[in-house]
């Protein structure tokens, strides 16, 4: 059996939600878009419902539909992309709450599903999704009269606590929501950590639940062990892998593990990445290929059965650094070939 094992610690996931929840006095939701950041929205969703989560956030109505099937009726499922053409059936049948991003979406929603719940997404400066201040002031009274379930906006720079953009967006969001008696939400993981000014009525962390930065105190959720297929001796001066990019500086022992860029182990991490045999680091040598990675295990006194990429010695963010990206991309790229095992 050569497929790698991705183990997902649902206990750690729940503890991360509880830790983030403890940072605020308000409700704490959970963002499970992109299939629960690659870990599986159904299992993640069910674990979080058991832990007491009452509000979930997804990117699309399709994701909301899948999540509803997994968690059943009860918790709210908010959809960041709002109500798009073709979403009406899913919104109705899965009882989703679209976060309407524009006047067009608002008209579509009240015409297609009069009286159905909705929220509003406002743009406080990120210029990605949501109504701009002028658009909002034009429809605000009409929208409020329909009783939105939530008014939200999103911070562009919350992972940089000292960035002046945070305070600017906070005051823009306040200006757009002051005096309204509607639940509101501004903070994702980064905003939750910024402090109470940013919490409003609901925080909506994503990455921190899954053990990623900017939640530095997160418990690790993911462990990824890659089985060793073959170990060989390579004589000083021989090369390893595509393009002969690594040449053995001494007689070496090289392990070939199952797992490659087709499994989300980003090719760019090659020269900087490290695998672990227990506590011993084994540098990746040569290029990461589609299904295989080669590592230098010369210092071990035995041939390893498997090598670990993500786990006790190395977080998703460390792996992300080696690949020149962020933990979010490592998690959401994790492939479908892994044996997934749930712990906790
Ligand atoms: C992805 C996302 C979140 C969660 O962000 P994290 O940084 O993963 O906590 C919250 N709100 C919106 C609008 C998002 O797109």
What tens digit of pLDDT does each residue of 279-333 get? 999 999 999 999 999 999 999 999 999 999 999 899 999 999 999 999 999 999 9
Q: How confident is the model at residue 1 (pLDDT cuts 50, 70, 90)?
A: low
What tens digit of pLDDT does each residue of 164-211 get? 999 999 999 999 999 999 999 999 999 999 999 999 999 999 999 999
Average pLDDT of span 78-103: 98
**Is-contact 97 150, C-beta < 8 A?**
yes
User: Ligand 1 centre and the CA of 199: distance in Å?
Assistant: 14
Q: Is residue 188 lining ligand 1, measured as CB closer than 6 Å?
A: yes
User: Ligand 1 centre and the CA of 2: distance in Å?
Assistant: 35
Give me 183's structure tokens.
Answer: 């639940």
User: Ligand 1 centre and the CA of 20: distance in Å?
Assistant: 14
> How far, rounded to the nearest angstrom, does the alpha carbon of residue 152 sit from its chain's CA centroid?
19
Contacts of 136 by beta carbon, 8 Å cutoff, 6+ apart: 120, 122, 176
In the chain, the percentage of residues whose pLDDT exceeds 70 is 100
User: Ligand 1 centre and the CA of 31: distance in Å?
Assistant: 7
Extents of the domains making up the chain: 10-210, 222-343
Query: Which listed CATH number (3.40.50.300, 3.30.70.580, 3.20.20.10, 3.30.950.10) goes with 10-210?
Result: 3.20.20.10
Looking from the CA of residue 59, the nearest atom of ligand 1 is 15
What's the confidence (pLDDT) of residue 2?
75
What's the confidence (pLDDT) of residue 163?
98
Domain 222-343 fold is Lyase, Ornithine Decarboxylase; Chain A, domain 1 (2.40.37)
Judge whether residue 96 has pLDDT over 60.
Answer: yes
159 phi-psi bin (left φ>0, alpha ψ -120 to 50, beta other) = alpha
Structure pTM? 0.96
Q: Is residue 207 lining ligand 1, measured as CB closer than 6 Å?
A: yes
Give me 210's structure tokens.
Answer: 């899954």
Give me 47's structure tokens.
Answer: 């674990």
What's the confidence (pLDDT) of residue 344?
80
**Is-contact 297 277, C-beta < 8 A?**
yes
What's the confidence (pLDDT) of residue 271?
84
CA-proximal residue: ligand 1, atom 4 (nearest)? 206
Looking from the CA of residue 214, the nearest atom of ligand 1 is 7
**How many residues are given for the chain?**
344
Average pLDDT of span 99-103: 97
Q: Is 242 a catalytic residue?
A: yes
Buried-exposed string 70-102: b where 16+ CB fall within 10 A, e elsewhere: bbeeebbbbbbbbbbeebbebbeebbbbbbbbb
Average pLDDT of span 222-238: 98
In this structure, the number of other CB atoms found within 10 A of the CB of residue 48 comes to 24
Looking from the CA of residue 37, the nearest atom of ligand 1 is 8
Catalytic-role residue among 78, 210, 242, 338:
242
CA-proximal residue: ligand 1, atom 13 (nearest)? 154
What's the confidence (pLDDT) of residue 121?
98
CA 287/CA 243 separation, integer angstroms: 8
What tens digit of pLDDT does each residue of 103-142 get? 999 999 999 999 999 999 999 999 999 999 999 999 999 9
Query: Ligand 1, from 56, 127, 188, 207: best to mutate by most atoms within 8 Å of Cβ?
Result: 188
Q: How confident is the model at residue 212 (pLDDT cuts 50, 70, 90)?
A: very high
What's the confidence (pLDDT) of residue 241?
96
Residue keyed to tokens 């921190």:
208
Q: Is residue 20 lining ligand 1, measured as CB closer than 6 Å?
A: no
């Amino acid at each position: 059996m050569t497929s790698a094992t991705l183990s997902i610690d649902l206990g750690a996931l729940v503890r991360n939600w509880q830790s983030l929840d403890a940072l605020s006095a308000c409700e704490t939701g959970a963002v499970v878009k992109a299939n629960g950041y690659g870990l599986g929205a159904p299992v993640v969703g069910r674990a979080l419902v058991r832990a007491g989560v009452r509000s979930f956030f997804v990117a699309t109505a399709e994701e909301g539909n899948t999540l509803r099937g997994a968690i059943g009726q009860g918790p709210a499922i908010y959809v960041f992309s709002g109500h798009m053409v073709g979403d009406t059936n899913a919104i109705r049948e899965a009882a989703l709450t679209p976060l309407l991003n524009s006047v067009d979406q608002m008209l579509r929603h009240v015409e297609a599903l009069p009286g159905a719940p909705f929220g509003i997404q406002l743009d406080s400066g990120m210029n990605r999704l949501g109504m701009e201040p002028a658009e909002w002031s034009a429809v605000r009274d009409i929208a409020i009269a329909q009783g939105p379930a939530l008014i939200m906006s999103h911070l562009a720079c919350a992972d940089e606590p000292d960035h002046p953009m945070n305070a600017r967006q906070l005051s823009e969001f306040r200006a757009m929501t002051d005096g309204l008696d509607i639940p509101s939400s501004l903070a994702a993981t980064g905003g939750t950590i910024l402090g109470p000014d940013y919490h409003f009525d609901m925080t909506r962390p994503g990455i921190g639940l899954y053990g990623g930065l900017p939640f530095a105190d997160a418990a690790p959720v993911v462990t990824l062990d890659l089985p060793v297929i073959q170990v060989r001796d390579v004589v000083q001066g021989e090369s390893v892998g595509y393009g002969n990019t690594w040449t053995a500086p001494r007689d070496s022992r090289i392990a070939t593990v199952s797992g490659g860029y087709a499994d989300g182990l980003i090719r760019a991490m090659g020269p900087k990445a490290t695998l672990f045999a227990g506590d011993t680091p084994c540098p990746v040598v040569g290029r990461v290929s589609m299904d295989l990675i080669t590592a230098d295990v010369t210092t071990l006194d035995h041939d390893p059965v498997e090598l670990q990429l993500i786990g006790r010695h190395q977080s998703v963010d460390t792996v992300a650094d080696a690949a020149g990206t962020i933990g979010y991309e490592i998690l959401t790229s994790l492939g479908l070939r892994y044996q997934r095992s749930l712990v906790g």
